[in-house]
Structure 1
Amino acid sequence: MDKAALERRLSRVEGFADPRLDLEQYPTPADLAAHLVHLAGVQGDLAGKTVVDLGTGTGMLALGAAFHAPERVLALDRDPAALSQARENERRVAETAGDEPATDIEWLLADATRAPVCPASAPGDRSNATVLMNPPFGAQSGNEHADRAFLATAGDLAGVSYSIHNAGSQSFVEAFAADEGGEVTHAFRAELELSRRFGHQTSEREVLDAEVFRIEWK
């Protein structure tokens, strides 16, 4: 499936009905999700793989990956309300698009930083697993460095990960990956266009600068 077609399908995904600030529940825009998933497909990181979406929220990245014929898709979130919306989005996308994703998604209620899954096909072999995630940026008090825990989990589970971070994170992500024996192979800038959902936001719409990274974990 090409990127434009995928974006059209993902544009039907509904956001959080009652987003939680403590979990930094900001939606992943359909255009950015389609671009990230398309890149993962081109790199051969989806088809035939086990894909794990850490902190799936309303399911945007997991749904995108499921259209690229992975062997399995696991989508984890600690918020039951978010998972309920994600399941509804799975039905919504299939009904309105006229076709279903190639792979069913397993929706799991779990803390993504303590993921109770083992996607490896053999002990110690992570080569067949790919993580996609839009982790919390760690911008809220008490939630500092939240993205670090997500990266650590990705490195434990998968051979490759794709993640979205706050702008200015490249040196941190590269250093963290290197400390864990990994390497950033791709990096690009992105924008998150967000509507006003929380009291601290001062405008009806705002654009957050972000960065996306592909990491190969050793």
Structure 2
Amino acid sequence: MPGPSRRALARRLESLDDFAEPSAALEQYLTPPEIAAHVCHLASLQGDLERPVVDLGTGTGMLAIAAALAGADRAVGVDVDAGALALARENAARVGATDATGWIRGDVTRHPLSVGDATVLSNPPFGAQRGNRHADRAFLEAARELAVVSYTIHNEGSRSFVESFAADEGGEVTHAFRATFPIAKRFDFHAEAEATLEAEVFRIEWGDR
């Protein structure tokens, strides 16, 4: 049975709550429903939701919940922040995705998972904070360990880095698309009421282990 359309999926995701008190250090921003819907609709079309789904750095639970609504039997979100996981659980309940989602507290760089045939979804930190450059690399490394296929969201201009990393690890970028990432003023260092980041999303097929 086909999953919901991309538009219908985005509409359901719009009801999810954002962080009430986001952490700047953890770069806690809401993954836009449109991007989550695009990623998970594509994953559904590719058959990538037919295997276990892991959302690394799940935050509000947006990607894990989107995967569940798009047809995944099981989607597990991993996050280091207990408050984020509590919010993710509430969001899953809000849209009726509780049975298909699970939540684990853990550091992505020392994740507690032993699965090796998952589909990984992740909106990692863009490394915008001082001293956090290349923060997304650890998420790609974890995806390489866990996934057959991964979908990750990165700052604009990351294509050469992502393609090089994938190639070095026996993987290949099969799909890439741009995405607009609106960010409302959340922290004192934000100068504008709302900013728009240009992001890039990559689907990677990882080679034999």
Return the alpha-carbon distance in structure 1 between the equivalents of residues 187 and 203 of structure 2. Answer: 30
Q: Secondary structure at the match of 1:65?
A: helix
Q: Secondary structure at the match of 1:212?
A: strand
Residue 7 in structure 1 maps to residue 3 in structure 2: no
Pick aligned residue for 1:62 from 41, 45, 64: 64
Residue 106 in structure 1 maps to residue 106 in structure 2: no
Return the alpha-carbon distance in structure 2 between the equivalents of residues 69 and 88 of structure 1. Answer: 20
Matches within 5 A, 1:1-218: 1-46=4-49, 48-94=50-96, 100=97, 103-120=99-116, 126=117, 129-218=118-207
Return the alpha-carbon distance in structure 2 between the equivalents of residues 16 and 176 of structure 1. Answer: 31
Q: Which runs of 4+ in 1 moved over 3 A?
A: none
Return the alpha-carbon distance in structure 2 between the equivalents of residues 115 and 12 of structure 1. Answer: 29
Return the alpha-carbon distance in structure 2 between the equivalents of residues 133 and 207 of structure 1. Answer: 19
| Structure 2 residue identity aligned to 1:81 | G
Return the alpha-carbon distance in structure 2 between the equivalents of residues 89 and 66 of structure 1. Answer: 12
Return the alpha-carbon distance in structure 2 between the equivalents of residues 137 and 204 of structure 1. Answer: 20
Q: Count the aligned residue pairs.
A: 204
Q: Secondary structure at the match of 1:142?
A: coil
| Structure 2 residue identity aligned to 1:70 | A
| Structure 2 residue identity aligned to 1:7 | A
Return the alpha-carbon distance in structure 2 between the equivalents of residues 71 and 210 of structure 1. Answer: 28
Q: 1:92: how far off? A: 1.5
Q: 1:187: how far off? A: 0.5
Return the alpha-carbon distance in structure 1 between the equivalents of residues 70 and 37 of structure 2. Answer: 11
| Structure 2 residue identity aligned to 1:177 | A
| Structure 2 residue identity aligned to 1:208 | L
Q: 1:113: how far off? A: 2.2
Would the aligned equivalents of 2:44 and 2:71 in 1 still touch at CA under 8 Å?
Answer: no
Consecutive unaligned residues of structure 2, counting only runs of 5 or more, are none
Deviations 1:50-102 (A, max 9, x none): 000000000000000012332321100000111111111111122xxxxx47x
| Structure 2 residue identity aligned to 1:112 | V
Q: 1:26: how far off? A: 1.2
Percent identical residues:
56
For 1:97, the equivalent position in structure 2 comes to none
TM-score between the two structures when normalised by the length of structure 2: 0.94
Q: 1:119: how far off? A: 2.2
What is the aligned-residue RMSD (CA, Å)? 1.1
